[in-house]
Amino acid sequence: MNSITLTIDGKSVEARSGETILDAARSLGIDVPTLCHHKDLLPHGSCRLCLVELKQGARSQLVASCGYYVKNGLTVETDSPRVQRARKLVLEILFASLHENTDIQRYARRYGVSRSRYKRSLEYCVLCGLCVRYCQEVKKADCIGFVGRGVHREVAWIPLSRYDDTCKKCMDCQAICPTGVFPSNWGMASPAVES
Amino acid sequence: MTDDGASAFALVDKIINRYGGERGTLIQILLDVQKENRWLSGESLEHIAERLHVPLPRVYEIATFYKAFSLTERGRHLVTVCLGTACHVRGAPTLLDRISRKLGVKSGGTSSDGRFTLLTVNCMGCCALGPVIAIDESYFSNPSNSDFDRILGQYK
Ligand code: SF4
Ligand code: SF4
Ligand code: FES
Ligand code: FES
């Protein structure tokens, strides 16, 4: 009853309701690149690396496959020219701050991105939200959150004392951070909230 | 401090109760507290988080995202200078300068008597009046120094 049929890259695939296009594509062995996606966490849709093209007759749109749930009769292209163009741009942007991340390097190679128009910097944070969501959904500790918006957006301990009383003993989200430095980069963030 | 003591939390509590203590009304509660107190103190945010059983980081995410919220104490009246493109070319920077000197504060600051907080925005939607300022909900087109003194006098 719950089975849904859709077409991905010309192949018909069965999926369960509640699965995302990304899940369905991966079940076919298609390697859709992702950054902010994590199997234990709810979709966030912030990195746009997983974009795929949804075809509806003559119309088509790009959607984030990690957060788009399967529907009967969807026609999806995971590597069309339009997807490739969009993904290249996203990779170029990410590559500027994540050129030492092995996954990003691998995808960059695949899409022929070897340098970025954007200024290279090893920022500690690309705002993927993995640490925040991990702490919230898996660890259930709620030590950190995003503060601010736009270029001022950053991850902060709320309140600041959470770092000392909880994170120091945990450090779990360090493995999940694509830049690998959070939360051990104590002092790099300028925490917005004093306790 | 508006938020010290039981009376200020009484206000926050009253607002929370008005919405039945529902989690989904967090933004509405923050807006109302902002309106009544003119800012959101750390203590009131903590109190709201506790009462709604929402983790504190989630409350701060919202409170720091929207421009409608202020996490620093504000004066009794808001003086807003438009720095939008139209006002900018019509001399808004000099106007801001004059006003900032009059009030003795930079943008974002609050005058020492606690009467005014100076803010800037990008376009208020009445460019033909530019350069334009607003005090609370009233708009003034390019006030001269003496206009401005007279206008300020109307606000206690
Ligand atoms: S600190 Fe790391 S995991 Fe957290 S949002 Fe930034 S890049 Fe992502
Ligand atoms: S280190 Fe801190 S922020 Fe990270 S998961 Fe642990 S408690 Fe949460
Ligand atoms: S993996 Fe889908 S938007 Fe980041
Ligand atoms: S630019 Fe000032 S009102 Fe539009």
Question: What ipTM score was computed for the predicted complex, to two decimals?
Answer: 0.79
Are the C-beta atoms of A134 and A110 separated by less than 8 Å?
Answer: no
Whole-angstrom distance, CA of residue A90 vs CA of residue B17 = 46
Q: Which residue has the tokens 């989200």?
A: A173
What pLDDT sits at residue A125? 83
Q: Which tens digits make up the pLDDT trace of B21-72?
A: 888 899 999 999 999 988 999 999 999 999 999 999 999 999 999 988 999 8
> For domain A3-78, which architecture applies?
Roll (3.10)
Ranges of residues in chain A whose predicted pLDDT is under 70: 1, 122-123, 184-195
Are the C-beta atoms of A183 and A156 separated by less than 8 Å?
Answer: no
Chain region(s) in chain A for CATH 3.10.20.740: 3-78
Chain B interface test: which of A158, A160, A167, A194 (most B C-beta within 10 Å): A158
CATH topology of domain B5-65: Arc Repressor Mutant, subunit A (1.10.10)
Residues of A in contact with B61 (CB under 8 A): 145-147
Give this prediction's pTM: 0.81
Pairing status of strand B116-121 against strand B77-82:
parallel
What pLDDT sits at residue A132? 95
Query: Ligand 1 pocket check: which of A128, A134, A144 to mutate, most ligand atoms within 8 Å of Cβ?
Result: A128
Closest residue in chain B to residue A157, using alpha carbons only: B57
CATH class of B77-152: alpha beta
Q: Which tens digits make up the pLDDT trace of A28-53?
A: 999 999 999 999 999 999 999 999 99
